[in-house]
Chains A and B, each alone.
Chain A
């Protein structure tokens, strides 16, 4: 960010108000609503790299980031620091729009590899829906790198997206009737997302396979293998 004048507190507050970058979420949290969803990974990285006293947690989703704290003693100071942080991201993005979109540590290393037996009960339906052979669906699923946009719905459930430029868009509707119990490790598709079910839950996604790899482990730190920014590659196993 060389050459950029860092905003002072007053300037940051003005910028945040104009651009509606911070919205109140009660008296112990704030929702960051960047003008460009691509800023979310930068905000998450900035929160990680610049700990703010009093902040106990934050969560990113597709377009927003929630920052939470526990004591009202910190409220004003945290708001001011978040205004500066959000303003800096906004300004640096304007100055360097071509900079790496994803800057999370998970993205800098190799993708997590998920070995999959592609024998899911909905593989044929997905293939028919997309006008493909099942093998072509598998090839499309394994060829690309997926990135976790956010975690929600259940612990360890990461919503994986892939590059829009991919030739085959794996976009399928949810099942009309959700299943009451999807086995843990099920590999699924819905909307434009893919996911691995971390534990047995009800669900309406299309099941195309299953993995033995544990994406959720309460004894691990962190317990979820797939979190916002994690890149994932699926690999077919058990063929022939």
Chain B
């Protein structure tokens, strides 16, 4: 059992989501930075798809009600166990009654608390992830919540700490053009321009502002018939401000998708703070 003592911003339970339900209009959801959750789970010896806690920016207090083994991955945040500093992406043994405190780091956006045994709330449609768009799954965590932790798995943690390189000051995100790059007069401008993450960024997607370079111009003016949207899609509405889709993106959309992030680049963008500069590369 894990007691939530403090939540500064948004903390949600996330696993790797609920694939296979697109025909019912339900997106996969899951951790916005899947790589970070998977690493945390590996560190504590969990299956990679065990449920953990996704914390935006940090600022969280968690008290173990029985001895627990945890790891904090993703955005590097100052982490205290009692009064001792704990290194990022390392295995931490939390005694019964001890509190793990996550501060706010200077880089990155989302950190992940993996707990050996996994967060064991009841799954909804096969997953313990909170889908903020569909409003499915366990609600966001609040101070006072007590969450169950599952029994320890058979596997033991293999390593104690996983060195991680920090995010670059300017992100370079690889993309693949299409499916509707031919709806634009100057699609290559996507990769020539500098973009900035706006304040309009959440689990659904990230709106970008043009910093320098040519605005994207439409070649085909008519409306696009609604079509299914993939994770990482860069959708361009008439305003010209692209929206890049993250974990809780809508299943269908009516604006043309000029390009789609490669899978690893999605994890990278999930760590980008408002104000972050980025370029796309094909």
Question: A213: CB under 8 A from chain B?
Answer: no
Q: Is chain B's binding surface mostly helix, strand, loop or mixed?
A: loop
Bound-complex Cα distance A228 to B25 (A): 10
- A224-B23, A227-B23, A227-B24 known; A64-B227 Cβ under 8 A: yes
0/1 per residue, B10-32, Cβ < 8 Å to A? 00000000011111111010000
CA of A72 to CA of B262, assembled, Å: 10
A58: chain B residues within 8 A (beta carbon): 22-23
Instruction: State whether A24 and B24 are in contact (beta carbons under 8 Å apart), knowing that A57-B19, A218-B125 are contacts in the complex.
Output: no
Question: Considering the chains assembled together, what is the distance between the CA atoms of A222 and B20 in angstroms?
Answer: 10
Q: Which residues of B contact A25 (CB under 8 A)?
A: 178-179, 230, 233, 257, 260
The answer on a CB contact under 8 Å between B250 and A151 is no
Consensus secondary structure, chain A interface: loop
Residues of B within 8 A of A122 (CB): none
When the two chains form their complex, are residues A151 and B260 in contact, meaning their CB atoms are under 8 A apart? no
A154 touches B134 (CB 8 A): yes
Q: Tell me the residues in window 13-62 of chain B with beta carbons closer than 8 Å to chain A beta carbons.
A: 19-26, 28
Rounded to whole angstroms, the CA-CA distance of A64 and B19 in the bound complex is 19
Q: In the complex, what distance in Å separates the CA atom of A58 from the CA atom of B22?
A: 6
Is B151 on the interface with A (CB-CB < 8 A)? no
Q: How large is the interface on A (under 10, 10 to 19, 20 to 34, 35 or more residues)?
A: 35 or more
Q: Count residues of chain B with CB under 8 A from any CB of chain A.
A: 37
Binary interface profile of A, 30-63, with partner B (CB < 8 Å = 1, else 0)?
0101000000000000000000000011111111
Which A residues lie within 8 Å of B177 (CB)?
A: 24
Instruction: Kindly list chain A residues whose C-beta atoms are within 8 Å of the C-beta of B135.
Output: 199
Q: Determine the distance from Cα of A223 to Cα of B123 in the docked complex, in whole angstroms.
A: 14
Q: Closest approach, in angstroms, between the C-beta of A42 and any C-beta of chain B?
A: 16
B interface footprint on A147-160 (CB within 8 Å = 1, 0 otherwise): 00011111111110
Which residues in B have their C-beta under 8 angstroms from that of A87? none
Residues in A lying within 8 Å of B, measured CB to CB = 23-29, 31, 33, 56-66, 68, 70, 72, 150-159, 199, 218, 222-224, 227-228
